[in-house]
């Protein structure tokens, strides 16, 4: 199986309300030798206000937001076609499962593309940050983990690279292609210095492996940010096939085993040691046999006999297993559904196969034919996204009334004073003022960049106020 190494630079941090602005992908063979690469930039969609902090971090200037060669939809289509042509592959990024992957999923969803493309056509997902953490715990001498400004270990890509002889300067960091090349270089280094741990983690990129391990009833070690915890799998989530509940075997089961389901729900998020752990089996968990990680445990956490006794007690308690399954299923039952379609990827149901095929026809058709296709969507979310994309990328296909309605929506979207979850122009200008206070007085380049961002935001705000 080949590998796809990738990185995204985005308009902001919240996946539902932001998009990739820059993407880089390197296709590599099973030995991590590069086979080809893509480096892409796109224009900012008109309904999205970029985070000034994100622009300052990535170095993207306002004029680049408008002058890039591709639209957002065009760039996402190029990425989708590349992933499909390179499949089956293991798709790898640095901190990708928590960030880049979510950004890509949400952008695909709102652009009528398959949200789970990195898991289609035999693809698997992996995260190099997770692998670095696993190596740091299991083979600490294999890789240098530097200390950050606070004196704690730093797992930032740039810091890891510089500590281990991989070129990635501060100026290069946050450029998608530079970050992708650095991610590949660290991946190659890990395979050389910690082959067993890397092989174990790549095996866990296939959800079938952690599913089997958790179902087996053996004492396992679950890795977090910096330490391993002895656990045993108890039950899968009845409503989410890729979510399992395990228990922390350092905690006496007597403290929770007879609790009703409604009290078990509180254990998922309680402060301090949490006796119940949820594990996403499709997100490459650090989950290893007790024997493989025994040496990395503190001396007072090596009592396998105690853990086996507790594991048998928990798994053999039918009432607890039933209550835990109920708690998993009802954990978010009281969460109010979002009124905004962008925020419904996970809570609004999967896009049906028929709708997905209709979306593919929509993308394959000329703009003048797309309105008829989108009118046939049964999923109201997809209709909203299709109408939005027509407004943003092909306004000439709209009727005069449709165009006026779209412009009114766009003005409100960007300038509203209501408490909305996305970034508006007024909120972005306030963010600029706060950022200015954090910049060093002598940092002329960043002050000039922030000035340019403020001018651009002010011009946009003035334009829409006049239009209103």
Compute φ and ψ for 356, nearest 5 degrees: -65, -40
- Least Cα distance to 138 among 307, 302, 291 occurs for 291
| 337 three-state secondary structure | coil
**The pair of three-digit structure tokens given for residue 367, joined into one six-digit string:** 């703009």
CB 435 within 8 A of CB 53: yes
Question: Using alpha carbons only, what angle is made at residue 74 by residues 73 and 75, rounded to the nearest 5 degrees?
Answer: 95
CA 445 to CA 31: how far, in whole Å? Answer: 41
pLDDT for 353 equals 94
Token code pair at residue 337: 């559904």
C-alpha–C-alpha distance, residues 122 and 106, integer Å: 21
Which pLDDT value is given to residue 225? 87
In tens digits, the chain (468 residues) has pLDDT values of 899 999 999 999 999 999 999 999 999 999 999 999 999 999 999 999 999 999 998 889 998 999 999 999 999 999 999 999 999 999 999 999 999 999 999 999 999 999 999 998 999 999 999 999 999 999 999 999 999 888 899 999 999 999 999 977 666 656 899 999 999 999 999 999 999 999 999 999 999 999 999 999 999 999 998 899 999 999 999 998 899 999 999 999 999 999 999 999 999 988 888 999 999 999 999 999 999 999 999 999 999 999 999 999 999 999 999 999 999 999 887 788 899 999 999 988 899 999 999 999 999 999 999 999 999 999 999 999 999 999 999 999 999 999 999 999 999 999 999 999 999 999 999 999 999 999 998 899 999 999 999 999 999 999 887 765
Q: CB neighbours of 89 closer than 8 A, spacing ≥ 6?
A: 1, 2, 3, 4, 27, 83, 123, 124
State the virtual CA torsion across 194, 200, 205, 210 in degrees, nearest 10. Answer: -150
Structure tokens that stand for 352 in this block? 């049906």
pLDDT of residue 335: 82
| Strand residues in 88-152 grouped as ranges (E) | 89-93, 124-127
Task: Mark 47-58 as b/e (b = at least 16 C-beta within 10 Å).
Answer: bbbbbbbbbbeb
What was the pLDDT predicted at 172?
61
Round to whole Å and give the CA distance between 90 and 127.
Answer: 10
- pLDDT at residue 173 in the model: 58
Contact 202, 135 (CB under 8 A): no
Q: What is the pLDDT of residue 30?
A: 97
């Amino acid at each position: 199986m080949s590998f796809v190494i990738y990185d995204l630079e985005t308009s902001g941090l919240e996946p539902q309300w932001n998009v990739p602005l820059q993407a880089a992908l390197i296709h590599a063979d099973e030995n991590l030798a590069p086979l080809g690469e893509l480096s892409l930039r796109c224009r900012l969609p008109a309904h999205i206000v970029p985070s000034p902090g994100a622009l300052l971090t990535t170095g993207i200037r306002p004029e680049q937001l408008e002058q890039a060669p591709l639209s957002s939809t065009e760039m996402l289509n190029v990425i989708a076609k590349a992933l499909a042509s390179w499949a089956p592959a293991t798709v790898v990024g640095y901190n990708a499962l928590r960030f880049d992957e979510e950004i890509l999923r949400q952008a695909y969803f709102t652009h009528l593309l398959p949200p789970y493309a990195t898991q289609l056509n035999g693809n698997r997902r992996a995260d190099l940050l997770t692998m670095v953490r696993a190596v740091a715990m299991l083979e600490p001498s294999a890789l240098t983990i530097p200390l950050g400004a606070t004196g704690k270990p730093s797992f930032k890509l740039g810091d890891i690279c510089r500590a281990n002889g991989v070129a990635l300067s501060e100026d290069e960091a946050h450029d998608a292609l530079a970050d992708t090349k650095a991610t590949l270089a660290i991946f190659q280094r890990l395979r050389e210095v910690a082959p067993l741990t890397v092989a174990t983690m790549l095996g866990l990129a296939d959800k079938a492996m952690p599913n089997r391990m958790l179902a087996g009833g053996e004492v396992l070690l679950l890795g977090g940010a910096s330490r391993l915890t002895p656990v045993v799998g108890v039950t899968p989530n009845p409503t989410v096939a890729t979510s399992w509940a395990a228990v922390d075997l350092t905690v006496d089961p007597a403290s929770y085993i007879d609790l009703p389901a409604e009290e078990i729900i509180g254990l998922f998020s309680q402060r301090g040691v949490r006796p119940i752990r949820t594990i996403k089996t499709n997100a490459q968990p650090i989950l290893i046999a007790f024997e493989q990680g025994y040496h990395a445990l503190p001396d007072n956490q090596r009592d396998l006999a105690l853990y086996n006794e507790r594991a048998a007690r928990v798994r053999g308690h039918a009432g607890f297993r039933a209550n835990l399954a109920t708690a998993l299923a009802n954990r978010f039952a009281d969460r109010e559904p979002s009124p905004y379609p962008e925020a419904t990827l996970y809570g609004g149901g999967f896009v049906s196969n028929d709708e997905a095929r209709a979306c593919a026809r929509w993308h394959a058709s000329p703009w003048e034919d797309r309105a008829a296709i989108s009118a046939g969507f049964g999923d109201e979310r997809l209709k909203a996204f299709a109408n939005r994309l027509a407004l943003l990328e092909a306004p000439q296909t709209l009727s005069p009334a449709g165009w006026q309605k779209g412009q009114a929506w766009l003005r409100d979207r960007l300038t509203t004073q209501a408490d909305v979850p996305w970034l508006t122009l007024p909120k972005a200008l306030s963010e600029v003022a706060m950022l200015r206070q954090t910049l060093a007085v002598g940092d002329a380049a960043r002050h000039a960049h922030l000035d340019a961002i403020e001018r651009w935001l002010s011009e946009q705000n003035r334009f829409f106020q006049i239009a209103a």
